[in-house]
């Protein structure tokens, strides 16, 4: 129900008109280029003018009709003229209040605000644009002691609620290391390959081009000889090394642009992360609304003694409006020293202590089942390789079967689970190792499943779902448990979750 006491309706910042028109102009950029090329360069502006006028008119209409107001326990958002849409968003349901600022936003001290709830695949409301003072007013209402008490029953806010405690700051050298560890440059290389595919660059006779290369270089005064087998192998190796170096350089550029100035602060129960060079993201959530805390390490992470940490909430999945894919995940640390992970976990979840936890391994039979399952996949890969490559395909079998044995042994070695007085944790993987923590109060469902192979070996799979564990996240999904042990864990987790009031 709407609040009995509501504040005065507020408008968007006047600059929202400018940003809306600019967004429309940016959307017309590609069509404008197409019109420019296909119209022969004659009066192409006339073709675009109606679209631009329509976009500008819609921006004015949205600004004139958009209102929001802050009540005691909810926020109202109203927009539209012919079709009017009015939404009442309780503060208790708001998971994240995220800010997106490009350089022009920062120049004029305004921001785009994303209000995320647990309702679905996009933010409950995107407010374009507001002054920073208005943004702070919204945050104060959303995360005030009254709103927190209404949903969590936690009483008044902490005396140090407004004091900002820095938890993590990433200097440039750490971001460079993050770029070296990650492979985000592959996305750019994949895009270039896609463009090459569209323009049929792969259809050129590259063999003939290589043969003609000495003649071409001789004409421009750089004579070279036709390379032999050894030179060809050296050139191929150099090309691979160059591609790897290029990918790493692109990954470093991505890390510097994406996470420039990364800071993580805690204000009482709230966590706030800020990062970004051109487009700056500011995400703020109460720590008690974290559904799942996870960490991951790749071989390069472990070589540099680093890790990455994510906190998942129940709000907004991938595909958010405005092209933002920050989704329901808050970067606690894109990269952090391995020996600081435990301290950062305690700072974010002070009620969870895994320092003295007893980790339980999976039974030895699990290793054999993983190996057998991987053998099936290895056999299929080997048969396909023999069918395509002939006898040379046997070389694939020589590689994949030992890899299957190694994978099974290493995965079993590192997989383990533990349970404490108020949380459960699971870690798995060996090439990329992941660990996740879920508190009992965040558990939504606990399920026990058995495949025919599980029943044959008296095993079961235990799955723990929260409101924030997406498909891409590291859920607590523990396979190959002895059936009796899985049933006991299922009953305990269900009992622990039922004894606690679920809180978003």
Question: Is the pLDDT confidence value at 392 over 90?
Answer: no
Q: In percent, how much of the chain has pLDDT > 90?
A: 31
Per-residue model confidence (pLDDT) at position 478: 94
At 359 the pLDDT is 94
Paired strand residues for 229? none
Architecture of the domain made up of 360-498: Roll (2.30)
pLDDT at 208: 60
Structure tokens at 201: 């660059």
What is residue 152's three-state secondary structure? helix
The predicted model scores a pTM of 0.74
What was the pLDDT predicted at 335? 94
Instruction: Give the per-residue pLDDT at 146.
Output: 41
Q: What is the pLDDT of residues 307-341, one digit of tens each?
A: 999 888 765 443 333 333 444 567 789 999 999 99
Q: How much is the pLDDT for 221?
A: 57
Q: Using one digit for the tens of pLDDT, what is the confidence trace for 341-356?
A: 999 998 888 888 888 8
Question: So where are the chain's domains?
Answer: 185-259, 360-498
- What is the average pLDDT value for the chain, to the nearest integer? 79
Instruction: Compare 135 and 4 and report the one with higher pLDDT.
Output: 135
Most confident of 105-114, 134-143, 483-492: 483-492
Alpha-carbon gap, residue 344 to 342, rounded angstroms = 5
Distance CA 208, CA 214 (A): 11
| Beta bridge partners of residue 107, listed in sequence order | none
Q: What is the pLDDT of residue 410?
A: 95
**What pLDDT, on a 0 to 100 scale, did the predictor assign at position 227?**
56
With beta carbons less than 8 A apart as the criterion, state whether 317 and 470 touch: yes
pLDDT in tens, 82-91: 778 888 888 8
Pick the closest to residue 309 from 285, 339, 344, 349 (CA basis).
344
C-beta separation of 65 from 81 below 8 A: yes
pLDDT at 365: 94
Tell me the mean pLDDT in the region 401-428: 93
> Which pLDDT does position 449 carry in this prediction?
94
Alpha helix positions (H), 167-226: 172-181, 185-198, 206-219
- Residue 452 pLDDT: 93
Q: Residue by residue, what is the 3-state secondary structure of 347-407?
A: HHCCCCCCCCCCCEECCHHHHHHHHHHHHHHHHHHHHHHHHHHHHHHHHHHHHHHHHHHHH
How confident is the model over 448-455, as a mean pLDDT?
Answer: 93
Weakest-pLDDT range from 163-172, 284-293, 469-478: 469-478
Q: Tell me: pLDDT of 48 over 60.
A: no
Distance of alpha carbon 206 from its chain centroid, rounded?
39
Would you call 476 helix, strand, or coil by DSSP? Answer: strand
Phi, psi dihedral angles at 165 (to 5 degrees) = -105, 115
């Amino acid at each position: 129900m709407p609040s009995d006491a509501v504040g005065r309706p507020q408008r968007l910042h006047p600059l929202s008109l400018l940003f809306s028109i600019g967004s429309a102009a940016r959307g017309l950029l590609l069509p404008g280029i197409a019109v420019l090329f296909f119209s022969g360069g004659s009066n192409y502006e006339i073709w675009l003018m109606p679209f631009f006028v329509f976009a500008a008119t819609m921006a004015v209409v949205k600004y004139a009709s958009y209102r929001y107001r802050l009540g005691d326990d909810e926020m109202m958002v109203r927009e539209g003229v012919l079709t009017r849409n009015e939404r009442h968003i309780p503060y208790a349901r708001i998971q994240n209040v995220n800010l997106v600022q490009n350089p022009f936003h920062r120049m004029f001290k305004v921001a785009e605000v994303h209000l995320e709830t647990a309702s679905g695949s996009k933010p409950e409301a995107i407010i374009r644009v507001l002054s920073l003072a208005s943004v702070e007013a919204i945050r104060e209402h959303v995360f005030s002691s009254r709103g927190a008490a209404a949903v969590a029953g936690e009483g008044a806010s902490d005396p140090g609620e407004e004091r900002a405690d820095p938890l993590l700051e990433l200097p440039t050298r750490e971001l460079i290391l993050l770029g070296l560890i990650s492979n985000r440059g592959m996305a750019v290389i994949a895009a270039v390959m896609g463009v090459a595919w569209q323009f049929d660059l792969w259809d050129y006779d590259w063999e003939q081009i290589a043969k003609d290369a000495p003649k071409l270089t001789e004409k421009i005064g750089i004579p070279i000889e036709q390379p032999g087998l050894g030179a060809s192998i050296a050139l191929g190796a150099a090309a691979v090394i160059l591609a790897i170096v290029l990918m790493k350089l692109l990954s470093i550029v991505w890390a510097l642009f994406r996470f420039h100035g990364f800071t993580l602060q805690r204000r009482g129960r709230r966590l706030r992360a800020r990062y970004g060079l051109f487009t700056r993201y500011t995400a703020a959530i109460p720590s008690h609304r974290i559904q799942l805390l996870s960490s991951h390490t790749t071989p390069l992470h472990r070589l540099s003694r680093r890790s990455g940490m994510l906190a998942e909430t129940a709000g907004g999945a991938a595909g958010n409006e405005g092209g933002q894919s920050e989704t329901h995940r808050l970067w606690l640390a894109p990269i952090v020293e391995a020996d600081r992970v435990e301290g950062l976990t305690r700072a974010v979840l002070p009620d969870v202590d895994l320092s003295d936890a007893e980790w339980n391994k999976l039974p030895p039979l699990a290793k054999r089942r993983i190996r057998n399952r991987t053998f099936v996949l290895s056999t299929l890969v080997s048969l396909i390789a023999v069918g395509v490559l002939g006898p040379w395909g046997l070389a694939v079998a020589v590689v994949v079967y030992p890899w299957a044995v190694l994978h099974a042994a290493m995965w079993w070695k590192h997989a383990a689970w533990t349970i404490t007085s108020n949380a459960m944790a699971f870690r798995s993987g060996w090439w990329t190792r992941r660990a996740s923590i879920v508190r009992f109060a965040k558990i939504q469902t606990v399920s026990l499943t058995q495949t025919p192979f599980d029943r044959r070996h008296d095993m079961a799979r235990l799955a723990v779902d929260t409101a924030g564990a997406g498909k891409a996240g590291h859920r607590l999904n523990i396979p190959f448990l002895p059936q009796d042990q899985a049933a006991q864990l299922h009953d305990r987790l269900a009992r622990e979750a039922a004894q606690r009031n679920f809180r978003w």
